[in-house]
Amino acid sequence: MAGFPNVRLRRLRRTEALRALVRENRVEVGDLIYPLFVVEGKGLKEEITSMPGIFRGSPDRLSPEIEDIASLKIPAVLLFGIPEKKDETGSSACQPDGVIPQAIRVIKSAAPELMVITDVCLCEYTSHGHCGVVNDGQVDNDRTLPLLATMALSHAAAGADIVAPSDMMDGRVKVIREALDGKGFPHIPIMSYAAKYASAFYGPFREAAESTPRFGDRRGYQMDPPNVREALREVEQDIKEGADIVMVKPALAYLDVIRQVRNVCNYPLAAYNVSGEYAMVKAAAGRGWLDEKRAVTEILTAIKRAGADIIITYHAKQMARWLQEE
Ligand code: PBG
């Protein structure tokens, strides 16, 4: 007799206490990673126009922000660097005293317990804005690999806790793993952007990171949005090459991809709630068209419900504050 009127699903929805008792998914501050843009130079701090509330700052201006993040108990930041000088091969990405190594040292002295994850990709450092070395108008996969390995090593040597390659070159996890192992960093995990799609939702990020390609687009190396079986192959490859954590990116238009990866993979899974997803919510909330707290909570909970363990999000600080108020 499992039917109405014996069954009344509304019984467990009547009060907040009942709803909380049967709630299946929750976002906790410990799930969140906060992305940070660091600009080379001194005395710089500016808000990113298309990402209200998100700033780019130079290493010397980072400490107050870092103390704020650490006091909210956010476990990790994900660093993106914007160098003073860009060139064809993105050589400033590999310098031991480049913008990211400088930032890591500042962060580690301001908040030693805050984990530092670094984005490993050349697009912010190349004059053409592509994620690798360009040869005859094409991004050359194999020539890019050693540069990524050197870049990752310079981050580990400066004190990064995790490195996160986001370039989508084939074989990059393998060369980074070998480089780390060979140079005394076998304990440093790799979080790979395994299934990273060529997405319109990176628009605001490219303004922030000055990484828009000068010609063409990234469809020759990032994934084609209609594909999901291919995402599972990407994840499989990265795990074979030594990834410790795999990521799906973006998150919102790819919740099905997150779920399918979760169903076949026992590795920790991260999802990147990207800049365009943030910008949409902020734009609508700023006009009073959405309740920001409810919308953000719903979005982040949906990403967990889809199967992510870890969420990289520009809402992290705000969400951490809301969770503290509860
Ligand atoms: C670098 C990189 C990008 C993002 C993260 N790492 C941009 C891109 O691939 O163009 C996007 C993050 C965001 O939109 O929040 N390759």
Write the residue with the smallest CA distance to atom 8 of ligand 1.
202
Question: Mean pLDDT across the stretch 87-116?
Answer: 97
Can 240 be counted among the known catalytic residues?
A: no
Give the pLDDT confidence of 171-216 residue by residue, as tens digits: 999 999 999 999 999 999 999 999 999 999 999 999 888 889 999 9
Smallest CA separation from ligand 1 atom 5, residue:
166
Asked whether residue 52 is assigned to any structural domain, the reply reads yes
Residue 1 falls within a domain, yes or no?
A: no
Hey, which residues does 192 pair with through a beta bridge? Answer: 246
314 Cα to the center of ligand 1, angstroms: 13
Which protein residue's CA is at the shortest distance from atom 11 of ligand 1?
A: 202
For atom 6 of ligand 1, the residue with the nearest CA is: 166
Query: Would you say residue 113 lies in a domain?
Result: yes
Does any domain span residue 7?
Answer: no
Ligand 1 pocket: which residues have CB below 6 Å? 119, 121, 123, 131, 166, 202, 205-206, 211, 218, 274-275
Q: What is the pLDDT of residue 129?
A: 94
- Comparing CA positions, the residue from 287, 317, 291, 319 lying closest to residue 303 is 319
174, 196, 282, 317: which is the annotated catalytic residue?
196
Task: Confirm whether 249 is a catalytic residue.
Answer: yes
Token digits for 274? 């990207």
Catalytic residue among 86, 174, 249, 304: 249
The one-letter code for the residue type at 268 is: P
pLDDT of residue 322: 98
Angle at 173 between CA 118 and CA 40, to 5 degrees: 25
**Does the residue 83 lie in any domain?**
yes
Coil, helix or strand at residue 232? helix
- Strand 191-196 to 245-249 pairing: parallel
H or E element that contains 267: none
Element (H, E) at 311: strand 310-313
Does 129 fall in a domain?
A: yes
260-279 pLDDT tens trace: 999 999 999 999 999 999 99
pTM over 0.95: yes
Ligand 1 pocket mutation, candidates 166, 218, 249, 311, criterion most atoms within 8 A of CB: 166
Classify residue 61 by its DSSP letter. G
Q: CATH number of the domain that 71 lies in?
A: 3.20.20.70
Whether 6 is in a domain gets the answer no
Domain count, the chain: 1
The answer as to whether 310 is a domain residue is yes
Identify the bridge partners of residue 164 per DSSP, sorted by sequence position. 119
CA–CA distance, 129 with 89 (Å, rounded to integer): 10
Domain extent, residue 121, equals 25-325
